[in-house]
Structure 1
Amino acid sequence: MDPFIVFTSNIFAILGLRALYFLVADMAERFALLKYEIAVVLMFVGCKMLIAPWIKIPTLLALGVAGILAFSVWLSLRRTRLALVASAQDDFALKK
C-alpha cells in the first residue's frame, strides 16, 4: 500500500474524530465517558501511524477499537439512566 495514502487517511480520521468530539461537547454530561474513549481511540490511531512501517495492524482490530466509542456511549447512557432511576426512587421515598 502507498504510505502517502495510509498516513493521509489516518490524519483525516484523527481530524474527523476531533470534529466529532466538538460536535458532542455540549452533551458531555450525558456521555460522561466519551472524552476518555475518544482519547483512547486517538492514541490508538497515533500509535498505529507510528508503527505502520514495521507492524501491520489487522483491519478487524482497528474496527474493534472504533467499537469502543459505541460501547462508551452505551455505557454512559446506561450510567445516566441508572442515576435517574436512583434519583427518582429517592424522591419517591422522601414524599412518603
Structure 2
Amino acid sequence: MILEILKSNNAKILRHDEKVTVALLPNDKLRTTAELLFKAGCYYATGAGVDERLLGVGFSMYHIFNCEAEGRYIIIKAVASNLKIPSITPII
C-alpha cells in the first residue's frame, strides 16, 4: 500500500527493503503524500538527524514516517517540482 501511495504521487523509489523505503518526491506532492500516509496509519517521526551513511543515500534533510502496520520507515526527500528527478542507484 505504501509503494502505491508514493508512486501515485510521482515518487522515485531509491530503496525498498524489509525495514526502509527511501524516495525522492516532488515538493508539490509532499502534503498530499503525507496525508495519505497518515490515513494509512503512518505518523511523522522526525525531519533531520539521520546518519546518511546508514541509509546509503546522500541527503541531509529528510521527512521520516514510521509505518508500524507495515513494520517500516518511509524516508522522503522533497525536491523542486520543476526539476527532473534523476535516476539514482544508491550504494547500499
The answer, yes or no, to whether TM exceeds 0.5 is no
> Which is richer in strand?
2
Instruction: Return the TM-score normalized by structure 2.
Output: 0.26
Instruction: Return the TM-score normalized by structure 1.
Output: 0.25
Indicate the structure (1 or 2) with the bigger Cα radius of gyration.
Answer: 1
> Which is richer in helix?
1
